[in-house]
Amino acid sequence: MNRTQREQEVRRAARRVGVTSENRLAWAIAFAQRSPETMTQGDWVNAQSELAALLGAEPGSPLELLWPVGRRETEVAQRTFRRVLDAAVRRRDVPLGRHELFLDWLPWPRSSPPRGMARWPPGDGRYSLIHLDRKRPAAAALHRLGQDLELAGHFLKACPAPAPRGKPTESCGRWFIQRRPQQAYCSPQCQSRASTRAYRAEREKRPPRRRR
C-alpha cells in the first residue's frame, strides 16, 4: 500500500470512527463486541486503521502524526475496551490502570498538507496529551475511551429485549448508544420482539372469553 492509498484508507477509517465523543463511543462499542474468531484479515486491517484514526490528532491528520498500530496492539485494545465497557454499562467504577501522562510535541512535517487542507494550522506544530510513549497505542486508546465515556458514557445502555434465541429470562444484552430519549432497544428488531413478547404475555393474563 503506497502513501496515497494509506492516506485514503485512514480518511475512510476516520469517517467510520467519527469526530464526536458520542460517535467515537459508538464505534468503540461495536469494535469491542465483535468476535475475534469471526474477523477476517481484512477486518483486522480495517480495525487497525480505525484505531489509528481514533488516536489521530484531528480529522485530516497527516500520516506522520498517526500512531503506529499493529495487529497485536489492536487485539489488546479490543480486549481492554470490552472489559471497560462491561463495567461502564453496569454503572460501576472503572479502573484504567496506572498511566503517566505527558505532552508530546508533534512538529508539522515539511511535506505539503494532505488533500482537503489548504495549509497547516498556525504555528510549527502542536502538543498532544498521550500515555507514556507512542509504542503503546493500546494504552493511549484506553485513555481516549475514558475521555469519551466521561463525555458520553451516560448514553451507554445494554439492550433489555428478550434474546432472539434462548431462555425466556435471557435478554439481548447488546451494548448500544441511546441516540434519542425514547430509544430503549439496540435495534428495531429487538424493539419489535420485545413488543410482541409483551403483547403475548398480556394476552395470557386475560381471562378466557365466555361463549354465548
- From the list 143, 152, 174, the residue with the least C-alpha distance to 25 is 152
Look at residue 44 and tell me whether its pLDDT is greater than 60. Answer: yes
Q: Is residue 83 part of a domain?
A: yes
CA distance 15 to 13: 5
pTM of the model: 0.78
143 lies in the same domain as 163:
no
Residues in the chain: 212
The burial of 155, by beta-carbon neighbours within 10 Å (0-12 exposed, 13-18 middle, 19 or more buried), is given as middle
Which range of residues forms the domain containing residue 75?
3-154
> How many domains is the chain partitioned into structurally?
2
- From the list 148, 160, 1, the residue with the least C-alpha distance to 84 is 148
**Using 50, 70 and 90 to split pLDDT, how confident is the model at 121?**
confident
Look at residue 37 and tell me whether its pLDDT is greater than 90. Answer: yes
13 lies in the same domain as 64:
yes
Pick from 154, 173, 193: which residue ends a domain?
Answer: 154
Q: What is the mean pLDDT of residues 153-169?
A: 88
The percent of residues above 90 in pLDDT, for the chain, comes to 45
| Residues 52-70: tens digit of each pLDDT | 888 874 545 555 556 778 8
Q: Is residue 90 part of a domain?
A: yes
Look at residue 93 and tell me whether its pLDDT is greater than 70. Answer: yes
pLDDT confidence of residue 61: 56
106 lies in the same domain as 147:
yes
94 lies in the same domain as 181:
no
59 lies in the same domain as 100:
yes
